[in-house]
Amino acid sequence: MNPKSKKLFEHARRIIIGGVSRNTVFRLPYPDYAAKAKGCYITDIDGKKYIDFANNMASLIHGHAFPPVIEAVTKQIQKGTAFTLASEIELEFASHLKDRVDSFERVKFMNSGTEAVMAMIKASRAYTGRSKIAKAEGAYHGTYDFAEVSQTANPKNWGDIENPNSVPVAHGTPKSVLDEVVVYPYNDIERTLAILEKNESDIACVIVDPVPHRVGLMEGDEDFIEAIYNWTRKKGVLMVFDEVVTLRVNYGGAQEKYSVPPDLTAMGKIIGGGFPVGALAGRAEVMSVFDNHRNTILYPHAGTFSANPVTMTAGYTAMEYFDELSVMKLNEFTENAKNQIEQVLKVADVPVSLTGAGSMFRIHLKAQLPNTYRETYQQDMEKAVIKELLDYLYYEENILMINTCSCMLSTVTGQKEIDRLSEGLERGLKLLKPKIENLKNLVYD
């Protein structure tokens, strides 16, 4: 369909392993290559224009080529891109984040969400002197060995819900890594506390994503978050948040909703303003493991491009424009969009449900709203129908979504784009209705 992209991919396969460096952009028979993007739209090298509801995996809070970011970054690039000196913009941006989120007493920048989570885990170990971490079954926390355990657990290997298995993602993951990861069922207080209790003397931190995308993009129940917090206070364990995706949910992040603060928070995506970024923030006492003034630095951490002035400028500009009013408007707009899509689901008369928070939502081919990873889990037949729906939207409606059937809206998303999404979904769901209906008969092992 797109001959230029096809030709480019054939060449790419001879140079780049698999043809792409990011699995998320791969699609059969070949991925399409972007030529340019502006606002809500991407145009590929064959001239096809797509409405973008993925926003580079939730990282573009103002869409593509946001003018204030482009202007600020262009000025900075003319001054230099990276120095072996500190930069003033790092301090300005850190101050902004500290003022924005109550739990941020100290801030440290790095280069990706994966690195931020990795630093969060290692800082927790350095602070507590313990080695194990606890994480939710199915939760995605980047590609660090320990953080990725059980993100792809399935009925054949996930084990008893009372004591979920630690399941590797990458072949060759050492057993010693699996032994250091305690897996708990998200939004299940009783079972989670029982599992944590069995490992209380070894756990450095309990990682919580307050709206875990892979688990199902449902919010953590307030009682669940508070139960984890109270347990960690009694046991000398840290409760740490992965807000790489969810910082967009409220002005002060998804954690703004809860009455209990995390000890540390990992960030990424929107705080880069379209550039690679990561950050860790939290209690000064815990963050002191990084402090260069200590006689013994408990966790020496560096990075060639950490806090480089281009990323800091882009991120600071993007977050300043994502002020309290912008957050409120985008969340209200997204809520209206979800209501509009709910009406589409009724008209299409299919057993489909919607989860989400803030400016994010996910479509599930299930009549019942999932609240845990095992309720969200998709068998092969369901995955095939979701892929068919996403392919229909992409190829026939020119609509790009995240491959979990999720949308991450930006401040430049308008009603016209939501109308197009609603219309496309209605046509796609009606087309696939018999297959979606058949999913009700699936039996989960």
pLDDT in tens, 183-219: 999 999 999 999 999 999 999 999 999 999 999 999 9
Helices 222-235 and 189-198 cross at an angle (nearest 10°) of: 20
Which phi and psi (to 5°) does residue 431 adopt? Answer: -65, -40
d(CA 306, CA 382): 41
- What would the DSSP string read from start to end of 112-170? -HHHHHHHHHHHHHHHH---EEEEETT----S-TTTTTTTT--TTTS--TTS-----SS
Task: With beta carbons less than 8 A apart as the criterion, state whether 215 and 355 touch.
Answer: no
Look up residue 267 and give its amino acid: M
Q: Which of the residues in the chain have pLDDT under 70?
A: 441-445
Task: With beta carbons less than 8 A apart as the criterion, state whether 206 and 120 touch.
Answer: no
Assess if residue 39 is contained within a domain.
no
Strand order in the sheet with 49-52: 34-38, 41-44, 49-52, 399-400
* Whether residues 159 and 256 fall in one domain: yes
* Whether residues 339 and 316 fall in one domain: no
What is the span of the domain harbouring residue 284? 67-321
> What per-residue confidence (pLDDT) applies to 442?
63
- Boundary of a domain, candidates 321, 346, 361: 321
* Whether residues 238 and 310 fall in one domain: yes
Assess if residue 45 is contained within a domain.
no
> What per-residue confidence (pLDDT) applies to 444?
53
Assess if residue 384 is contained within a domain.
yes
Assess if residue 28 is contained within a domain.
no
C-alpha distances in Å from residue 238, one per residue of 42, 70, 106, 124: 42, 39, 16, 7
* Whether residues 237 and 364 fall in one domain: no
Q: Kindly report the CATH number assigned to the domain that includes residue 232.
A: 3.40.640.10
* Whether residues 265 and 175 fall in one domain: yes
* Whether residues 217 and 299 fall in one domain: yes
- Boundary of a domain, candidates 293, 321, 349: 321
Assess if residue 40 is contained within a domain.
no
What tokens were used for 40? Answer: 């809500």
d(CA 208, CA 116): 14
Q: Kindly report the CATH number assigned to the domain that includes residue 395.
A: 3.90.1150.10
Look up residue 368 and give its amino acid: Q
Among 211, 208, 223, 239, which Cα is nearest to 135's? 208
Preceding omega of 31 cis (within 30 degrees of 0): no
**DSSP designation for 72:** H
Query: Residue 7, Cβ neighbours under 10 Å: how many?
Result: 13
d(CA 20, CA 438): 35
Instruction: Give the residue numbers annotated as catalytic, written as ranges.
Output: 140, 242, 269
Helices 309-321 and 88-100 cross at an angle (nearest 10°) of: 30
- Helices then strands, counting H and E runs in the chain, come out as 15, 14
d(CA 359, CA 335): 8
* Whether residues 184 and 149 fall in one domain: yes
Assess if residue 34 is contained within a domain.
no
Domain count, the chain: 2
> What per-residue confidence (pLDDT) applies to 22?
87
C-alpha distances in Å from residue 40, one per residue of 62, 112, 201, 409, 434: 9, 24, 49, 9, 32
Task: With beta carbons less than 8 A apart as the criterion, state whether 242 and 121 touch.
Answer: no
Assess if residue 403 is contained within a domain.
yes
Torsion of CA 329, 331, 334, 336, to 10 degrees: -70
Look up residue 367 and give its amino acid: A
Task: With beta carbons less than 8 A apart as the criterion, state whether 338 and 355 touch.
Answer: no
Assess if residue 26 is contained within a domain.
no
* Whether residues 267 and 174 fall in one domain: yes
* Whether residues 110 and 200 fall in one domain: yes
Q: Kindly tell me the sign of the dihedral angle through the C-alpha atoms of 405, 411, 272, 48.
A: positive
Which residue reads 């880069």 in tokens? 272
Tell the burial category of 70 from Cβ atoms under 10 Å away from its Cβ (0-12, 13-18, 19+). Answer: middle
* Whether residues 314 and 329 fall in one domain: no
* Whether residues 149 and 161 fall in one domain: yes
